[in-house]
Structure 1
Amino acid sequence: MDESNLFLRVLAAYSDAVRVKDVDAFTALYDQDIHVFDMWGTWSLRGLAAWRDMAAGWFSSLGDECVVVTSDDESSAVAGALAIGHAVLTYTEIAPDGTKLRSLSNRVTMALRKTGGSWKIIHEHTSAPIDHQSQQAILHRSDD
């Protein structure tokens, strides 16, 4: 994998796997020892089995709908066998007829490690800013 585009390629593979709800392709991006700080429902998830269970539940909850993931404000750096990247991801739920049902954005940071010639995500952290008054997550950027 071309390391200069490593993070963009990982984000593209992530988006593709989510869009087609392919649990195997999704989890193939992650290391066996993945540690995720996910902002949705669980403080953190450790290990590929836990992450696979999350993905399987998410994808099956969508029924006939799909989710299109787009990214912007991507930035990354590679140093030897480690890479780190961050971006804003927007998740848009699409009905079978192509109608956009809803969307939200969150921030993501991913750390990757090259092991045996393959890059895998070893840590992922998602977040959203919290409104001080309402204590609610802000899931849409002001420029969305």
Structure 2
Amino acid sequence: MSDNEDQIANILSRYRMAVLDKDVEGMMELYADDIRVFDTWGVWTHDGIAAWRQVVEHWFGSLKDEIVKVVFDDVRTERGSDLAVVSAVTTYTAVSANGEELRSMQNRVTRSLVRRADLWKIVHEHSSAPIRFEDMKAILMR
């Protein structure tokens, strides 16, 4: 595996650990300053690292003594010399301080990465969930 492939594969591992540790700085290191996020929840778009930092800080702060375990399934990567796209089904599971699983949900997530100064950074992230025709509610589990 080349250094570029290692760095790209490492993005998901670092994301998983940053969420588990509620590490805002670790999370922000994954993203480019000009990140654009199409998140599943509440806001149409988040433009720039400052806007995305606010979302991550709020998310991690809202967890209190809970942690969130992240699992990536069906990961697919397409890579060129300076651009990569990684898609996956991402499962988020909230766990209480005593280890009890509280809730779980899945999103379809696609991340676009660019190589800048020999480092890969996420420049675009898009998460989604399909919507049922019958009641217009999001389907949060495959």
The two structures have a TM-score, normalised by structure 2, of: 0.96
Distance 1:5 1:134 in 2: 43
Distance 2:56 2:122 in 1: 15
Between Structure 1 and Structure 2, how many residues are aligned?
Answer: 141
Give ranges in structure 2 of 5+ residues lacking alignment: none
Matching residue's letter, 1:34 = I
CA deviation after TM superposition for structure 1 residue 3, in Å? 2.7
Alignment correspondent of 2:72: 71
Matching residue's letter, 1:28 = E
Distance 2:75 2:8 in 1: 8
CA deviation after TM superposition for structure 1 residue 121, in Å? 0.1
Q: Please, what is the CA RMSD of the aligned residues?
A: 1.1
Aligned runs of 1:36-115 on 2, under 5 Å? 36-115=37-116
The two structures have a TM-score, normalised by structure 1, of: 0.95
Preserved contact between residue 8 and residue 120 of structure 2 (Cα < 8 Å)? no
Alignment correspondent of 1:26: 27
CA deviation after TM superposition for structure 1 residue 7, in Å? 3.8
Distance 1:93 1:3 in 2: 32
CA deviation after TM superposition for structure 1 residue 9, in Å? 1.5
Give ranges in structure 1 of 5+ residues lacking alignment: none
Distance 2:56 2:20 in 1: 12
Identity %, equivalent residues: 45
**Does 2:118 match 1:117?**
yes
